[in-house]
Structure 1
């Protein structure tokens, strides 16, 4: 496996500039576009939630009332399908206003074809009932969030801009300003310069509170959308396992192709040539014994080379020393073949499962190949230890650094292999070095 060493791909710039990050959140939140988009989401949530709640309750009531007849079950299924459609619109709204990307849930699976099979699939779908639950729960939350956000918004921005519109009171209402108290004989108004300034200051404080409140309220909306309108954890896990299975299958197929290529181009070709040389030597045995002896001697050398190639190939499939003696001796033998000095430290009181042991061995093998080919290092080290239920492997070198797991690099393929068994690969390789690659694997007895 070849790994690209050099400058790592540069990350895209964040939406907000560096200057904005220096301003405290509480000061910039009320004036950022994100806050106003989230506020718009809260405003739209109330009328949409009313429609969704009314639809869900109506369809549930109608379906439950008709359960004594055959029509109740299809009505319930239709109601759940409608809730899924409304949930799809909610995911689109959350994407547009909250910047939340939520994948569509798993599709309805039908046990048998036909109308009743489809109805049964909808009623058995957990995603359909989660959408129905969202339609019910979102309504009371939308009422609360709308009331709090609109009340804060009107009070905060009204008081903050009070000096700009106070003139409307004496001109159109015949009073000096906002009335704080009145009992028919006298009243208290915000009309003096000090009181106007104090009202504006309170308004500014409420504006800052409003910005944080909108962010907090919209976060609850994010949780509702993500938790009820997206795929379930079980569906995510199934998708992840299917992806891992594909990666494992592709890796196994690539390994088989490599073994076939090595056998065909290496040992097999050498053995075919050896058979031809021995045939020629047999023919010359009577006529020219000396020539035949030389050919047999050459064939003997070819046999040794073929045997070495077969041993190397067998070691690449699964080294015998790993099976017989474990990771410590196997990694020491691996380090002895590296082009730079490698210090190996293995601290394991027991052996993990054979599959995990093999993955750890080949991970170190590929990382040391990278050190030999690309790192321009003078030395390297391999450390292996157990941390609770995880097998930890750390490979470091003092080379030039710049290794990364970007698309197309060898480390990206290695990371995919580890991910297929719930493992993790972390690369720390600044330009100029040193490089530290940590592989974390599950410990399975």
Structure 2
């Protein structure tokens, strides 16, 4: 769901954020980073990367070489398929490791599609699967990076903590090593040791600087691991886009079905019921025409009023489906007509160089219409404004009011359905409505020319 709520969303004081309600840390993040669980989790990830990377690299290279060598016979093909299957298993392990130690959520890639039964169909599907080959590529690329990140991470981590705690263990050298402390320099004639209080203090301060910098170095190293895992072990961008389009299509279909049900209900309960009653009244008037002309005339007058009411209901229903003013005169006139029916004064400003595509224009119209209805019903505002403009290849519209605020699209309200409708066309809904107001809701749609 491409929806954002308010200002500072996701920060520590968000009621729905992890750790909500806690006070902010008194220590700066630089000072507390070496002691945070995230830093230790990332360091453990680097420690495990080397043995696991060695295992995956050895398996992939060995099995790939074996399969390639056996391609002169039939055995090479199933060996390659088994190699790819093993790499997919390693990929599942790596996704779980990244989820547990890095907090990285990577969706499962698209499953293996086997169209026919039998081992050969499975072998063919495995060899044709781009996901399987990306997993193998990960096992090959991850190993050299694991060696580098392991060496850098362990070196900085051990040197930092070792030097920081040097005042606690420097006595080991004179007692068991036969020297004053850590040897800084030495040759055949003289040596320099860190053995006096000043040098020990400076050593600890250097260790402190390295210790404070190490979590950020480790974080930078694991950033590359995150990119590798996301790029090679997750679903491809094409597959992700297909899933998004399928979801958006489902939203569009559901919305269209709901609109059809609403139209059918409005016709059945409104205009259709009035027309049935009108037909009955006219029938009674016809029967009374000869016996009681005055009563028949009254019934015809009442039927005439019912006809006017039915026509007005049909006009309102047609306007709800697609207003004629929108088709004939565009967003400016259509939104001005909607604003005139709002219970609070509304300023409308539309600044568009040309008209967008009819589908985008219709979504923009109904978005503003629903937001103005919310203002009339719930905001308690004294004034409101509607602004529509184009920014590069995006159509933006903003509806603001000075009401009580507190609008929330996460509680299953009409704003949530509006956000889903916008998301179906790659749109975004941004809700900024702190308690007490004011409320500012911005919708962003792709610009498509008519």
TM-score calculated relative to the size of structure 1: 0.94
Q: Which residue of the partner structure matches residue 188 of structure 1?
A: 192
How far apart are the structure 2 equivalents of 1:384 and 1:206? 53
Q: Give how far 1:91 is off.
A: 0.9
Q: Which residue of the partner structure matches residue 60 of structure 2?
A: 56
Q: Which residue of the partner structure matches residue 159 of structure 1?
A: 163
Q: Give how far 1:121 is off.
A: 2.1
How far apart are the structure 1 equivalents of 2:189 and 2:384? 90
Q: Which residue of the partner structure matches residue 299 of structure 2?
A: 295
Q: Which residue of the partner structure matches residue 84 of structure 2?
A: 80
Q: Give how far 1:244 is off.
A: 0.7
Q: Give how far 1:180 is off.
A: 2.9
Q: Give how far 1:41 is off.
A: 1.0
Q: Give how far 1:51 is off.
A: 0.4
Q: Judge conservation of contact 2:407–2:431 (CA < 8 Å) in 1.
A: yes
The DSSP-based 3-state class of the residue aligned with 2:72 is coil
Stretches of structure 1 that go unaligned for 5 or more consecutive residues are 1-7
Q: Which residue of the partner structure matches residue 3 of structure 2?
A: none
Against the structure 1 CA distance between its residues 17 and 305, is the aligned structure 2 distance closer, same or farther, given a 3 Å change threshold?
closer
Q: Which residue of the partner structure matches residue 335 of structure 1?
A: 339
Is 1:10 the counterpart of 2:11? The answer is no
Q: Which residue of the partner structure matches residue 73 of structure 2?
A: 69
1:170 equivalent among 159, 169, 174: 174
Q: Give how far 1:153 is off.
A: 2.2
Q: Which residue of the partner structure matches residue 246 of structure 2?
A: 242
Q: Give how far 1:19 is off.
A: 4.2
Q: Which residue of the partner structure matches residue 403 of structure 1?
A: 407
Is 1:43 the counterpart of 2:47? The answer is yes
How far apart are the structure 2 equivalents of 1:298 and 1:17? 67
Q: Give how far 1:83 is off.
A: 0.7
Against the structure 1 CA distance between its residues 348 and 178, is the aligned structure 2 distance closer, same or farther, given a 3 Å change threshold?
closer
Q: Which residue of the partner structure matches residue 315 of structure 1?
A: 319
Against the structure 1 CA distance between its residues 16 and 378, is the aligned structure 2 distance closer, same or farther, given a 3 Å change threshold?
closer
1:228 equivalent among 229, 232, 236: 232
How far apart are the structure 2 equivalents of 1:10 and 1:182? 60
Q: Judge conservation of contact 1:30–1:212 (CA < 8 Å) in 2.
A: no
Against the structure 1 CA distance between its residues 83 and 15, is the aligned structure 2 distance closer, same or farther, given a 3 Å change threshold?
farther
Q: Which residue of the partner structure matches residue 5 of structure 1?
A: none
* Greater mean deviation of Cα atoms: 214-223 or 411-420: 214-223
- Give the alignment of 1:368-379 within 5 angstroms: 368-379=372-383
How far apart are the structure 1 equivalents of 2:231 and 2:162? 36
Is 1:119 the counterpart of 2:123? The answer is yes
| Deviation string, structure 1 residues 368-409 (Cα, Å, up to 9, x no partner) | 100110111122221111111111111111211111212312
How far apart are the structure 2 equivalents of 1:23 and 1:226? 33
How far apart are the structure 2 equivalents of 1:118 and 1:82? 14
Query: What is the number of residues matched between the two proteins?
Result: 438
The DSSP-based 3-state class of the residue aligned with 1:384 is strand
| Deviation string, structure 1 residues 332-376 (Cα, Å, up to 9, x no partner) | 111111112222211222111111111011111101100110111
How far apart are the structure 2 equivalents of 1:19 and 1:306? 61
Q: Give how far 1:120 is off.
A: 2.2
The DSSP-based 3-state class of the residue aligned with 1:339 is coil
RMSD between aligned residues: 2.0
1:346 equivalent among 339, 350, 367: 350
Against the structure 1 CA distance between its residues 256 and 170, is the aligned structure 2 distance closer, same or farther, given a 3 Å change threshold?
same
* Greater mean deviation of Cα atoms: 119-128 or 392-401: 119-128
1:102 equivalent among 80, 93, 106: 106
Q: Which residue of the partner structure matches residue 330 of structure 2?
A: 326
Q: Judge conservation of contact 2:387–2:397 (CA < 8 Å) in 1.
A: yes
TM-score calculated relative to the size of structure 2: 0.93
How far apart are the structure 1 equivalents of 2:109 and 2:20? 29
Q: Give how far 1:210 is off.
A: 2.1
Q: Which residue of the partner structure matches residue 359 of structure 1?
A: 363
Is 1:393 the counterpart of 2:387? The answer is no
Q: Give how far 1:55 is off.
A: 0.9
Against the structure 1 CA distance between its residues 262 and 107, is the aligned structure 2 distance closer, same or farther, given a 3 Å change threshold?
same
| Deviation string, structure 1 residues 26-57 (Cα, Å, up to 9, x no partner) | 32222222211111111111000000001111
Against the structure 1 CA distance between its residues 11 and 18, is the aligned structure 2 distance closer, same or farther, given a 3 Å change threshold?
same
Q: Judge conservation of contact 1:179–1:188 (CA < 8 Å) in 2.
A: yes
Stretches of structure 2 that go unaligned for 5 or more consecutive residues are 1-8
| Deviation string, structure 1 residues 235-293 (Cα, Å, up to 9, x no partner) | 11111111111111111111011001101111111111111111111222222222222
Q: Which residue of the partner structure matches residue 432 of structure 1?
A: 436
Q: Judge conservation of contact 2:113–2:125 (CA < 8 Å) in 1.
A: yes
Against the structure 1 CA distance between its residues 81 and 407, is the aligned structure 2 distance closer, same or farther, given a 3 Å change threshold?
farther
Q: Judge conservation of contact 2:15–2:21 (CA < 8 Å) in 1.
A: no
Q: Give how far 1:184 is off.
A: 4.8
* Greater mean deviation of Cα atoms: 182-191 or 249-258: 182-191
